[in-house]
Structure 1
Amino acid sequence: MKIIHTADWQLGKPYGRFPQEVRSALSEARLDAIDRIASAARDTGAGQVLVAGDVFDNVEPGNRVVVQAMSRMGHAPVTWWLMPGNHDHLRAGGLWSRVRGLAPPNVRVIDRSEPMELDEGAWLLPAPLEHRRTREDPTALMVGMATPPGALRIGLAHGSITDFGASGESPNQIPPDRARTAGLDYLALGDWHGFLAVGDRTAYSGTPEIDRFGREDAGACIEAIVRTTDSPVLTRRSTGRYRWLERRWDFVEADDLAAAIEALRGEGALADVLLALKLSGTVSLANRVGITASLEEQLSLAVRHLEVDAAGLIARPTAEELAEIDVQGALAGAAAVLRERAGAGGPDGEMAAAALERLYVEALRFDRGAAQ
């Protein structure tokens, strides 16, 4: 049987630390991912889409998010199986009651831990979460779930593999051998936002739309061919739009910036990039000012979002630059002290270098204004 395994949609995620324009774009991309998952199902011939928890980011995602999600799924020629995770856990009369009331015929809400027939000869063994955190293994009931002889047994759960970097106190823990002990042909998991295979019959699909720095692979789902006679065949299908990139650019000359931006363009459309950038190196004051200005005035407008950490880009003013700072009296003395402290390095040196750069910029700005 061929299925699409996905998880951690987290529809309605607020992205609170970003500007409103970026928040709106990222939130809409998560809804758009539903359409791309539907396309993956259509292209691969999979008639069932299993969502292993965290369909929504919280238990109150807002009416628009719920209606949009149901509308998009309703237009896709597949059956969607939606299971609550820790972010959108079951509550009496809560989110999932509303979802069930709005769901089109091809959307199935999984709110009970009991076998459900996916298709002829294939059964789903789900473990919906009733609480955000539980010390109990959510998959324990799968061991006793009876299915017809010879039927495919596909588990669906949301949680952390016990020895997958988790301590004994972590919630929603799942033993790494659950597929074997429950006689599962495949265990489809959610919670980890990157793709991860655990043994030969268990996998995390990852999120269809990446939502944080540190994971540079595009969002994806899994096309799984599940078989009773052998391990499932898993293929990742890209569904993500935005890439969250972390880069460190080291500078010797100002021209290094153009080369770095050109290399970034070669990785794909800049409009679909969120970039966390760290700058390093030692350059002249003029070059440092030019580099930071170019990032603010050009690159920040080309990418979806730009974060710059320029603490490692050290400015060392040349004699010519200091001569351009047309200051006298106390300011001239301050410039000399700042230059000396900047050359000494350390935390005070970094602060002095930043102050010297600001003095340089403001002095040049004053000179230009006086000349006009």
Structure 2
Amino acid sequence: MVIRFVHTSDWQLGKPFGKAPDDARAALQEARLDAIGALAAAARTHGAAFVLVAGDVFDSAEPGDRVFRQALSRMGGAADLRWILLPGNHDPARADGLWSRLAAEAPPNVVAATEPTPLAVLEDVYLLPAPLAFKRTVQDPTAWFDGAETPTGARRLGLAHGSIQDFGVGETATNQIAPDRARRAGLDYLALGDWHSRRQIDARTAYCGTPEPDDFGREASGEALVVELASPGEAPRITPVPIGRYQWVTDTWTLSAAADLDAPLAALSAGQDLKHLVARIKLAGLLTLGERVAVRERLEAGLAHEVRWLDLSLADLFARPTDNDLAEIDAQGVLREAAERLRALAGEPGEQGLRAMAALERLYVEHQKAQRIGAT
């Protein structure tokens, strides 16, 4: 019998996205809920009978009533699929908390795997879940898999949330899973969550990543895995499928003139829908003061309104004020004198120089605005 299912994790529903503007924050939060529908569609397309969610269904143990109800409603709406949810480190199974409520209120096709005991998911297919009761534990939550008893000949699936390796941060490793757990426990497949990027550990062990990207610098994110088990003993077939709506990109653009902005803007727009783009762009280089202002205005008045969220850094884009720049402020008089003083201070190293340059740029911008208003 061929068995197919979807492996997903780290939905982190209710994630606050605190650094994003309000409109982007709301859109990114809604996209995480919408990923449930995309996962259901992928499951149907690939003939999967159930969906395994390997922890961190919610971003916290108190996601709020709307997020909680929306999650259950959307999974309940996909009644042709069975959804098996595992508590992770963001939403551990505390007594009388989120998971008790979920178990009591969930629709029949949604299962809370809150106990470390074999769970029958199909005929002759058993799931070994490793729910987290605490945010951190020094024990391997999958250790019990090795001695877990299931009927002879049954397929064995593992579901866990934790790290497969120690990242050497100088602290005691927590929620750490043995990299050879699938072999030790005789698992056909071990579905892992916690890492937000897809990563295959061995032929029978994989992280699927988060279905909706949630940060910059994630590789192989915005996906789920369709897992197919064919003949007993045969390694599973693991197929990544795209799920996410938003693409998160980060880049550095080095400019020596304002016109240098044309090429990276064109490359960013090529082949993708800008409204589904979250971009962290760092500008570097040395421009005249007028060019730096023009570049900033072009991005803030243009690209920032075309993408979902533009996180723009100009800290390494320096200005070299020219005589023409200062003449734009005021050919003579008080403003020109102030601009000259600021230009001199801007050449100083350290914080004072940075503040002087910021003040000079501000003076330039405000004077340009006043000139435009006076011309109308």
TM-score (norm 2): 0.92
Conserved? CA contact 2:209–2:221, under 8 Å: no
1:276 corresponds, among 268, 273, 280, to 280
Distance 1:104 1:190 in 2: 24
Distance 2:329 2:59 in 1: 53
1:302 corresponds, among 301, 306, 309, to 306
Conserved? CA contact 1:162–1:168, under 8 Å: no
- State the match for 1:204 in structure 2: 207
Q: 1:46-103: CA deviations, max 9, x gaps?
A: 1011111111111111222222111211222111111111111112221112112222
Q: Select between 327-336 and 26-35 the one with higher mean Cα deviation.
A: 327-336
Conserved? CA contact 1:316–1:353, under 8 Å: no
Change (3 A) 1:177 1:218: closer
Q: Select between 143-152 and 355-364 the one with higher mean Cα deviation.
A: 355-364
Distance 1:320 1:30 in 2: 50
SS at match of 2:186: coil
Distance 1:117 1:270 in 2: 44
SS at match of 1:114: coil
Q: 1:123-179: CA deviations, max 9, x gaps?
A: 111111111111111001101101122221111001111345566612111111111
Conserved? CA contact 2:278–2:308, under 8 Å: yes
Q: 1:11-42: CA deviations, max 9, x gaps?
A: 12222232222221111111100000001100
Distance 1:199 1:258 in 2: 44
Q: 1:281-311: CA deviations, max 9, x gaps?
A: 1122221111111111111111111111111
Report the number of matched residues.
372
- State the match for 2:33 in structure 1: 31
Residue 324 (structure 1) shift:
2.6
1:4 corresponds, among 3, 6, 19, to 6
Q: 1:251-273: CA deviations, max 9, x gaps?
A: 12222223322211114111111
- 2:233 pairs with 1:229: yes
Residue 333 (structure 1) shift:
4.0
Unaligned ranges ≥5, structure 1: none
SS at match of 1:11: coil
- State the match for 2:242 in structure 1: 238
Structure 1 residues 119-268: aligned runs within 5 Å? 119-163=122-166, 169-215=172-218, 217-227=220-230, 228-268=232-272
Distance 1:353 1:166 in 2: 39
Distance 1:359 1:168 in 2: 49
SS at match of 1:173: coil
- 2:296 pairs with 1:292: yes
SS at match of 1:225: strand
Q: Select between 209-218 and 103-112 the one with higher mean Cα deviation.
A: 209-218
SS at match of 1:174: coil
SS at match of 1:214: coil
Conserved? CA contact 1:341–1:352, under 8 Å: yes
- State the match for 1:15 in structure 2: 17
Distance 2:371 2:6 in 1: 64
Distance 2:215 2:26 in 1: 15
AA at the equivalent of 2:92: H
Identity of aligned residues (%): 51
Q: 1:222-267: CA deviations, max 9, x gaps?
A: 0111353222221111110111211111112222223322211114
- State the match for 2:73 in structure 1: 71
- State the match for 1:356 in structure 2: 360
Residue 365 (structure 1) shift:
3.3
Conserved? CA contact 1:6–1:208, under 8 Å: yes
Residue 208 (structure 1) shift:
0.6
- State the match for 1:56 in structure 2: 58
Q: 1:348-367: CA deviations, max 9, x gaps?
A: 54443333322322333344
Residue 337 (structure 1) shift:
3.8
Change (3 A) 1:287 1:47: same
Residue 327 (structure 1) shift:
5.6
Once superposed, what is the RMSD of the aligned Cα atoms? 2.0
- 2:88 pairs with 1:85: yes
Change (3 A) 1:274 1:113: same
Distance 1:367 1:88 in 2: 56
Distance 1:192 1:218 in 2: 10
Residue 3 (structure 1) shift:
1.3
